[in-house]
C-alpha cells in the first residue's frame, strides 16, 4: 500500500530582516539539542560502565530490557524527569514520548535573566518535534547500530523547526503558525505572545515555480489535511534559502503516469542497473553524472588536507602521521579563513551531487514504470557491500590485497535509494515490487540445464550450456523476470522450482535480440569509457580497438595519455584501481540523440514478434 501522507515543498519569499529572525531561532534550537544530548550522554556513560550492561553485548533485546529497568533521570528546575527506553526497537513510543515530554518543558527554560525560549516563539510543540529527532539519534545508536557515537550539532547544523496540527472544539490551529492558502502566505509568531502583544512575521509562498497545478491538487483537502508545518533552511550556491514543507494526509497526486503489463526483472549493483522485460533489456550506470562531481570533491578534499596540515603542525609527525596524545588530552585545531571557505565549497558540491543523484533516480524510475506492473529485485545486502573485508589475503604477486569493497561506489550512486524510490512509485500506481531472497541466486542459474554455477565477480560474460554468451547482469535480470514468487521468500534454497522454465524458454529468443541491441547502443554512446564497456561485457579485443583521444584532460586525470596508470580490468573485486578512469563528459552525453538513450520510452520493435 502507498503511504498515507506525503510532503509538499514550496519556496518562501524571505527578506533579510526576516531571515535574521529565523536564523536566531535555528541557533537556539541547536543549543537546546546539544544541551539535552549532553545530559543524556552523561547518563548513558554512567550505565554503560556497569557490568550488567557490558554482558548484554550487541543483543538488542537484552539492551532494551536493561534500559527499561534503568531509566534515565534528568532534572528540570529541580524536578526529575524519567526517560524510559523501549524493551524492543519497534516499540519506541515510551521513550519518544518521555523525551518529547521532557524537551517540551524547556519552553520555560530561562535564557539570561528575564527571557525564556517561549519569548522567542519556540513553544512546546516545536520542542516536542526536536525531542523526536533526539530519540531517533539514540535509536540508531542503541538498536540499529547505525551510529558509533552520539555527536552534537555544530553551528548551522539545525536547519528546520516544525509544529503539528492542534484540534480543539472543532477548531484547527498550528501553534506558533497561521497559514492562509487563499492569499498564499504563512505567519510565524516570533515572541509567543497572544493577540495585540504578538509580533508575527509574514512569509509569502512563492507559487511561480509550481507546475501543472500540482500544489493545488495536493492542497485540495484544505487545512484539515495538513498534519505538520515545517520551515526549512537550505544553503544553495552560497546563500540561505527558506522553504515551507507541508506534511499532508492522503494519497500523493498522480502526474498521468501509468504502469505497463508483465514482469520486470531488475539486477542492481553498487553502481549499475540491468533490467529485463518484454518491452526491452537495458543496462546503464546509476547516477552517472555524479562521477564528475566526485573528482571535484577529491580536489577540494586535497586542498582542505593541505590547509589543515599547514595551520596545525603541532598535531602531525614529520612523516605526516598523527601524533599520539595522552589520556584526557585534546587536540587543538586552528582553521584559516581559506579553509572555512573551502568547506562551504565542499558543502555546495555535496548538495549538487545529492540533487543530481535524486533527479536521475527519479527519471530512471519514471521510465521504468511503463515496462511492467510487477517488479522483481534481489534483496541484496547493500550494507555488506560497504563494509571492509575481514580476511587478509594476497594476490599472485604476493602483495596484500586492499580490504576496501564498494563503499565509495555505493555512497555516490545510492542503489538502495533507487529501489526505495521505485517501490514508492510502483505501489502508488497499484503495482507490486517484490524483493526476493538472495537464495534465488539469479546470477548463478543456468536455465538451459537447470544447474547453479558460481562465477567470479570479474566474470562479466557468462556462457550457458547451449553455447550462447550473455552479459552477467542482463542474464541475472532475465532470470529474475521469470522468478516464481513465494509468500515466505526467506531462506530460499537453490532449486529449479524457483523459476518458470517453460516461460523462460519461450521468452529466450526475444531476450537474445534485445540484449544484442542494448549492447550495440551502449557501445555507441560510451565507446570512450573503458570501465563501462568492461561491465557491459565487451571483449578485451573490442577495448583495444577503440579510438582513444590524447588530451590534456586525459593526461591530468590519469587517462589514455598516461602510460603508467594502474588499470586492472577484471580484478577479483571488480574495482577499477588507480586514477585511470576515462569518463564521458556531460557534453558528450547531451549530444547523443534521445532514441539512443535507455528508458527513452520507445521500445525496440522486433520483426516477426
* Segment 534-548, tens digit of pLDDT: 556 554 444 444 444
H helices of 282-406, in order, are 290-311, 337-368, 382-386
The residue ranking higher by pLDDT, 533 or 600, is: 533
Q: Which burial class, exposed, middle or buried, applies to 105 when counting CB atoms under 10 A from its CB (0-12, 13-18, 19+)?
A: middle
386 and 435 housed in the same domain: yes
Q: Which of 75-84, 151-160, 248-257, 280-289 has the lowest mean pLDDT?
A: 75-84
- List the beta strands (DSSP E) in 12-149: 72-76, 79-83
d(CA 276, CA 267): 9
Within a domain: 269: yes
423 and 475 housed in the same domain: yes
Q: Could you report the per-residue pLDDT of 211-222, keeping only the tens digit for each? A: 668 888 888 888
Q: Which of 527, 549, 566 is the last residue of a domain?
A: 527
Local confidence band at 574 (pLDDT 50, 70, 90 cut-offs) = very low
357 and 489 housed in the same domain: yes
Within a domain: 146: yes
pLDDT surpasses 80 at 608: no
- Cβ 419 vs Cβ 472: under 8 Å: no
Range of 56's domain?
5-249
Q: What is the pLDDT of residue 556?
A: 38
Phi, psi (rounded to 5 degrees) for 258: -130, 155
Q: Which three cell numbers stand for residue 115?
A: 527571557
Q: Which three cell numbers stand for residue 238?
A: 552560497
Q: What is the pLDDT of residue 607?
A: 36
289 and 424 housed in the same domain: yes
- List the beta strands (DSSP E) in 47-129: 72-76, 79-83
Measure the CA dihedral 345/350/352/355, to 10°: -160
Q: Which three cell numbers stand for residue 574?
A: 571488480
Q: Which burial class, exposed, middle or buried, applies to 76 when counting CB atoms under 10 A from its CB (0-12, 13-18, 19+)?
A: middle
- Using a pLDDT cut of 90, give the percent of the chain over it: 33
**Which residues neighbour 481 within 8 Å (Cβ) at sequence distance 6 or greater?**
263, 264, 265, 276, 277, 376, 507
| Domains identified in the chain, total number | 2
What's the rounded mean pLDDT across residues 4-8? 88
Q: Which three cell numbers stand for residue 313?
A: 603542525
Sign of the CA dihedral with 117 first, then 123, 129, and 135 last: positive
Nearest CA-CA partner of 142 in 57, 224, 50, 39: 57
Q: Which three cell numbers stand for residue 75?
A: 532534572
d(CA 103, CA 498): 52
pLDDT surpasses 80 at 113: no
Local confidence band at 497 (pLDDT 50, 70, 90 cut-offs) = confident
Give strand pairing partners of 214: none
Q: Which of 1-10, 375-384, 568-577 has the lowest mean pLDDT?
A: 568-577
Within a domain: 373: yes
Reduced to 3 DSSP states, what percent helix, strand and coil does the chain have, rounded to the nearest 5?
Answer: 40, 20, 40
245 and 292 housed in the same domain: no
Which residue has 516544525 as its cell numbers?
Answer: 162
Q: What is the pLDDT of residue 581?
A: 28
189 and 337 housed in the same domain: no
**Which residues neighbour 186 within 8 Å (Cβ) at sequence distance 6 or greater?**
12, 177, 178, 179, 180, 202, 203, 205, 229, 244
Helix (H, G, I), strand (E, B) or coil at 275: strand
- Cα distances (angstroms) measured from residue 148 to each of 137, 200, 456: 11, 41, 33
Q: What is the pLDDT of residue 402?
A: 84
Q: Which burial class, exposed, middle or buried, applies to 558 when counting CB atoms under 10 A from its CB (0-12, 13-18, 19+)?
A: middle
Q: Could you report the per-residue pLDDT of 411-469, keeping only the tens digit for each? A: 889 999 999 999 999 998 989 999 988 888 888 888 988 888 888 888 888 889 888 88
Which residue has 595519455 as its cell numbers?
Answer: 561
Q: What is the pLDDT of residue 532?
A: 60
244 and 274 housed in the same domain: no
Within a domain: 523: yes
What's the rounded mean pLDDT across residues 325-343? 89
469 and 341 housed in the same domain: yes
Q: What is the pLDDT of residue 531?
A: 58
Within a domain: 337: yes
272 and 215 housed in the same domain: no
pLDDT surpasses 70 at 356: yes
Q: Which three cell numbers stand for residue 229?
A: 508545518
Within a domain: 598: no
**Which residues neighbour 163 within 8 Å (Cβ) at sequence distance 6 or greater?**
123, 125, 126, 129, 174, 175, 176, 177, 228, 229
pTM: 0.79
Helix (H, G, I), strand (E, B) or coil at 170: coil
199 and 64 housed in the same domain: yes
Per DSSP bridges, beta strands 5-11 and 239-249 are: antiparallel
267 and 243 housed in the same domain: no
pLDDT surpasses 80 at 580: no
Measure the CA dihedral 384/385/387/391, to 10°: 90
Within a domain: 173: yes
- List the beta strands (DSSP E) in 429-519: 432-436, 445-446, 451-452, 461-463, 469-471
Local confidence band at 316 (pLDDT 50, 70, 90 cut-offs) = very high
Q: Which three cell numbers stand for residue 231?
A: 520551515
Within a domain: 138: yes
537: left (phi over 0), alpha (psi -120 to 50) or beta: left
Which residue has 520551515 as its cell numbers?
Answer: 231
Nearest CA-CA partner of 205 in 194, 215, 218, 195: 215
Phi, psi (rounded to 5 degrees) for 140: -65, -30
Local confidence band at 572 (pLDDT 50, 70, 90 cut-offs) = very low
Local confidence band at 255 (pLDDT 50, 70, 90 cut-offs) = confident
Q: Which of 527, 559, 584 is the last residue of a domain?
A: 527
Q: Which three cell numbers stand for residue 435?
A: 524483493
Nearest CA-CA partner of 340 in 156, 160, 158: 156
Q: What is the pLDDT of residue 407?
A: 85
When mean pLDDT is compared over 145-154, 297-306, 373-382, the highest value belongs to: 297-306
Q: What is the pLDDT of residue 526?
A: 65
Give strand pairing partners of 528: none
Element (H, E) at 284: strand 281-285
170 and 270 housed in the same domain: no
Q: What is the pLDDT of residue 312?
A: 95
Q: Which of 481, 501, 527 is the last residue of a domain?
A: 527
Amino acid at each position: 500500500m502507498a503511504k498515507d501522507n506525503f510532503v509538499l515543498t514550496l519556496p518562501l519569499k524571505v527578506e533579510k530582516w526576516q531571515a535574521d529572525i529565523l536564523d536566531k531561532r535555528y541557533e537556539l534550537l541547536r543549543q537546546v539539542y546539544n544541551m539535552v544530548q549532553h545530559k543524556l550522554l552523561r547518563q548513558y556513560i554512567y550505565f554503560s560502565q556497569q557490568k550488567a550492561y557490558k554482558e548484554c553485548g550487541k543483543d538488542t533485546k537484552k539492551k532494551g530490557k536493561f534500559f527499561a529497568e534503568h531509566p534515565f533521570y534528568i532534572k528540570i528546575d529541580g524536578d526529575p524527569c524519567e526517560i524510559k527506553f523501549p524493551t524492543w526497537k519497534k516499540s519506541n513510543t515510551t521513550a519518544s514520548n518521555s523525551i518529547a515530554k521532557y524537551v517540551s518543558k524547556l519552553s520555560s527554560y530561562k535564557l539570561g535573566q528575564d527571557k525564556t525560549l517561549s519569548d522567542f516563539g519556540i513553544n512546546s510543540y516545536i520542542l516536542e518535534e526536536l525531542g523526536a529527532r533526539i530519540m531517533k539519534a539514540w535509536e540508531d545508536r542503541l538498536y540499529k547500530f547505525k551510529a558509533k557515537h552520539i555527536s552534537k550539532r555544530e553551528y548551522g547544523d539545525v536547519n528546520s523547526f516544525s509544529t503539528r496540527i492542534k484540534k480543539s472544539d472543532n477548531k484547527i490551529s498550528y501553534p506558533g503558525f497561521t497559514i492562509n492558502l487563499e492569499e498564499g502566505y504563512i505567519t510565524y509568531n516570533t515572541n509567543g505572545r497572544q493577540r495585540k502583544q504578538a509580533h508575527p512575521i509574514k512569509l509569502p509562498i512563492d507559487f511561480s515555480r509550481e507546475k501543472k497545478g500540482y500544489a493545488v491538487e495536493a492542497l485540495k483537502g484544505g487545512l484539515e489535511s495538513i498534519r505538520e508545518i515545517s520551515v526549512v533552511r537550505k544553503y544553495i550556491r552560497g546563500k540561505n534559502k527558506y522553504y515551507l514543507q507541508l506534511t499532508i494526509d492522503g494519497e500523493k497526486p498522480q502526474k498521468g503516469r501509468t504502469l505497463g503489463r508483465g514482469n520486470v526483472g531488475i539486477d542492481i549493483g553498487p553502481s549499475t542497473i540491468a533490467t529485463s522485460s518484454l518491452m526491452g533489456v537495458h543496462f546503464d550506470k546509476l547516477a552517472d553524472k555524479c562521477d564528475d562531481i566526485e573528482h571535484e570533491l577529491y580536489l577540494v578534499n586535497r586542498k582542505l588536507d593541505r590547509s589543515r596540515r599547514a595551520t596545525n603542525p603541532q598535531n602531525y609527525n614529520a612523516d605526516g602521521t598523527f601524533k599520539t596524545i595522552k589520556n584526557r588530552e585534546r587536540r587543538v585545531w586552528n582553521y584559516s579563513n581559506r579553509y572555512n571557505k573551502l568547506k562551504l565549497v565542499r558543502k555546495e558540491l555535496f548538495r549538487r551531487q545529492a540533487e543530481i543523484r535524486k533527479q536521475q533516480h527519479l527519471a530512471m524510475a519514471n521510465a521504468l514504470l511503463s515496462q511492467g506492473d510487477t517488479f522483481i529485485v534481489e534483496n541484496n545486502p547493500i550494507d555488506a557491500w560497504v563494509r571492509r573485508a575481514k580476511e587478509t589475503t594476497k594476490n599472485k604477486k604476493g602483495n596484500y590485497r586492499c580490504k576496501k569493497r564498494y563503499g565509495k561506489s555505493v555512497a555516490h550512486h545510492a542503489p538502495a535509494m533507487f529501489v526505495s524510490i521505485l517501490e514508492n512509485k510502483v505501489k502508488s500506481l497499484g503495482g507490486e515490487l517484490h524483493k526476493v531472497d538472495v537464495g534465488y541466486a539469479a546470477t548463478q542459474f543456468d536455465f538451459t540445464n537447470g544447474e547453479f554455477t558460481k562465477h567470479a565477480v570479474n566474470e562479466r560474460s557468462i556462457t550457458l550450456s547451449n553455447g550462447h554468451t550473455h552479459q552477467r547482469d542482463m542474464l541475472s535480470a532475465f532470470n529474475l523476470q521469470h522468478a516464481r514468487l513465494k509468500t515466505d521468500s526467506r531462506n530460499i534454497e537453490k532449486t529449479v522450482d524457483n523459476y518458470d522454465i517453460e516461460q523462460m524458454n519461450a521468452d529466450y529468443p526475444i531476450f537474445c535480440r534485445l540484449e544484442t541491441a542494448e549492447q550495440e547502443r551502449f557501445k555507441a554512446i560510451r565507446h570512450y569509457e573503458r570501465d563501462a564497456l568492461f561491465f557491459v561485457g565487451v571483449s578485451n579485443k573490442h577495448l583495444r580497438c577503440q579510438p582513444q583521444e590524447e588530451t590534456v584532460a586525459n593526461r591530468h586525470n590519469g587517462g589514455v595519455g598516461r602510460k603508467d596508470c594502474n588499470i586492472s580490468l577484471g580484478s577479483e573485486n571488480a574495482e577499477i584501481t588507480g586514477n585511470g578512469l576515462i569518463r564521458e563528459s556531460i557534453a558528450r552525453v547531451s549530444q547523443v540523440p534521445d532514441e539512443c538513450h535507455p528508458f527513452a520510452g520507445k521500445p525496440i520493435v522486433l520483426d516477426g514478434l
